[in-house]
Amino acid sequence: MNFVLSGFRFRSDRCHNGHSSRRHSAVRRCMEGCEQPVRRMSLAILSIPSQASRPRLYRSKALIAYHWHDFIGNVGVFLVLLSYFLLQLERINSSGMRYSLMNAVGAILICVSLFFNFNLSSLIIEICWLAISGYGIYRCLSKKRASRANA
């Protein structure tokens, strides 16, 4: 979710020269007679942007909008978790092609989702996950080539 800064105003008891101000004055002049009005200071707080400030693609009446890229990312998460679950059940081998392919495809699908809802930390881990899975696929293929050459 995108957050923007908005101003939250509070009153200052000092003018631009540091003198205290008269609170009852409508113009809020300083008590020392400075001609400058007392400045108001602002403090930034986080707030959620309005619907009008969002791109038209993401406007929706629902609190959480679910798009096609969210579905693709969820399929990727499901594949990664399924591969790990099957590994724990000893249904697949960690050095096998299926395990590495499921992890690689899952990481690619999550990266597609991150293209639309960017998160740097998630992108870094998914790129590393994809690289490690790519190495596993490469190692699997080289073992198959070596076994065919020896046969």
Which three-class secondary structure string do you get for 57-93?
A: HHCCCCCCCCCHHHHHHHHHHHHHHHHHHHHHCCCCC
Of 74, 83, 67, 70, which is closest to residue 129 (Cα–Cα)? 83
Nearest 10 degrees: CA dihedral of 39, 43, 4, 59? -80
pLDDT at 146: 92
Average pLDDT, the chain: 77
pLDDT at 65: 87
Read off the pLDDT of residues 70-94 as tens digits, 9 standing for 90 and up.
999 999 999 999 999 999 999 999 9
Which of the pair, 149 or 51, is modelled with greater confidence?
Answer: 149
| Other C-beta atoms lying within 10 Å of the C-beta of residue 53 | 10
Split at pLDDT 50, 70, 90, the class of 11 is: very low
In whole angstroms, what is the distance from residue 134 CA to residue 101 CA? 8
pTM of the entire structure?
0.59
* Residue labelled with tokens 């969210």: 70
Q: Which burial class, exposed, middle or buried, applies to 43 when counting CB atoms under 10 A from its CB (0-12, 13-18, 19+)?
A: exposed
pLDDT at 64: 82
The pLDDT of residue 44 is above 50: no
Which of the pair, 65 or 114, is modelled with greater confidence?
Answer: 114
Structure tokens at 105: 């495809």
Q: What is the mean pLDDT of residues 53-65?
A: 62
Please state which of the ranges 40-44, 56-60, 67-71, 79-83 shows the lowest mean pLDDT. 40-44
